[in-house]
Amino acid sequence: MKNQLLPEFQEFLRSCRLVNEKYIHFYAYWASKFLSFSNKSVIPNHERSAHILTGSNGFA
């Protein structure tokens, strides 16, 4: 079951030896939590990118 969570990301971490093997699932779990959270954001992706690039907070 552990390997079903973001399997390509887990393989990337493993192949590049970025994370100790015993922590790979932990990183995949938190990456999936972040992706889930960011996909629920109220700001559309193209606007979010513009705010990041311009330093704007979206308020006039």
User: What is the gyration radius of the CA atoms in the chain, in angstroms?
Assistant: 16
Per-residue pLDDT at 1 exceeds 50:
no
Domain boundaries, the chain: 2-54
φ/ψ of residue 41, rounded to 5: -60, 150
* pLDDT score at 10: 96
% of residues, the chain, pLDDT over 90: 48
Residues 7-56 have pLDDT tens digits of 999 999 999 999 999 999 999 999 999 988 887 766 666 665 665 666 65
Shortest CA distance to 13 belongs to which of 33, 1, 28? Answer: 28
Strand ranges inside the chain, DSSP E? none
Q: What is the pTM of this model?
A: 0.62
